[in-house]
Amino acid sequence: MTTIAAAAFIALTLSLSRWQVNRGEEKAARQALLEARLADAPLRLTGMVASPDNLLYRHVRAGGRWLAERQIFVDNQIHDGRAGFNVVTPLQIDGTTDAVLVNRGWVARGPSYPRPPQAALPDGHVEVSGLATRPPARYLELSGDTVSDGVWQNLSIERFRERTGLAVLPVVILQEGGGNGLVPVRERPDAGIAKHHEYALTWLALAVTALVLWVALNLKRVR
């Protein structure tokens, strides 16, 4: 009975390890695709798109005007060991009612914290270029009130749409060069390959451990 249980457990963990290896290979292919997009010619945004998939990690451009009254500050962003905000502003795209969120850059916390510092915006028509990304997965939110006086604990496109009523594209532009003295925010594609390798090794280690224990117990019985 012990042998059957051990064999079943080892088979299961080896199967799970192989599954994680396969997932890692899928993510590696996606990583290669995303990195290849970094070399593509910039794509001009002209309005709403249904899915972010074809835009992610493409260099994009958009023209329009800043919606200053909708600007937000995403708190707890670290740069060179200092805490600050990412300044995110919607840009209404020329000739449409659609908007795209632009991460204009990072700014350090000031003496008025938790209130954000000033982050001026130019009036009139602007042209913005940068990398199309998605907001990172949510970090721990310290309270149920995740938005206060324009300061957000996390950026969520869905939550931004709900709070503002704006038709916002499903990507965020990381503005090249930063805006108005802000420190540019940079990002590289990460399809999450490493975690699958870690999981695969964990399952493999469990299979090996189970095998070693089974051998040890059976040798002990023989003696």
> Could you give the C-alpha distances from 106 to 110, 112, 183, 191, in angstroms and in order?
12, 17, 5, 24
**What is the distance between the terminal CA atoms of the chain, rounded to a whole angstrom?**
20
45 and 61 Cβ atoms separated by less than 8 Å: yes
What confidence category does residue 209 fall into, taking pLDDT thresholds of 50, 70 and 90? confident
Q: Specify the pLDDT at position 13.
A: 79
Q: Which has more confidence, 3 or 159?
A: 159
Mean pLDDT, residues 64-85 taken together = 94
pLDDT above 90 for 9 = no
Mean pLDDT, residues 122-136 taken together = 91
Q: Specify the pLDDT at position 120.
A: 86
What confidence category does residue 205 fall into, taking pLDDT thresholds of 50, 70 and 90? confident
E strand segments, 39-157: 43-44, 59-66, 72-79, 82-93, 98-108, 125-133, 147-148, 151-152
pLDDT, mean over the chain? 82
Residue whose structure tokens are 């095998």: 211
143: left (phi over 0), alpha (psi -120 to 50) or beta: beta
Mean pLDDT, residues 158-180 taken together = 91
Whole-angstrom distance, CA of residue 88 vs CA of residue 66: 11
Whole-angstrom distance, CA of residue 7 vs CA of residue 20: 20
Whole-angstrom distance, CA of residue 84 vs CA of residue 71: 16
pLDDT digits (tens, 9 = 90+) for 131-142: 998 887 665 555
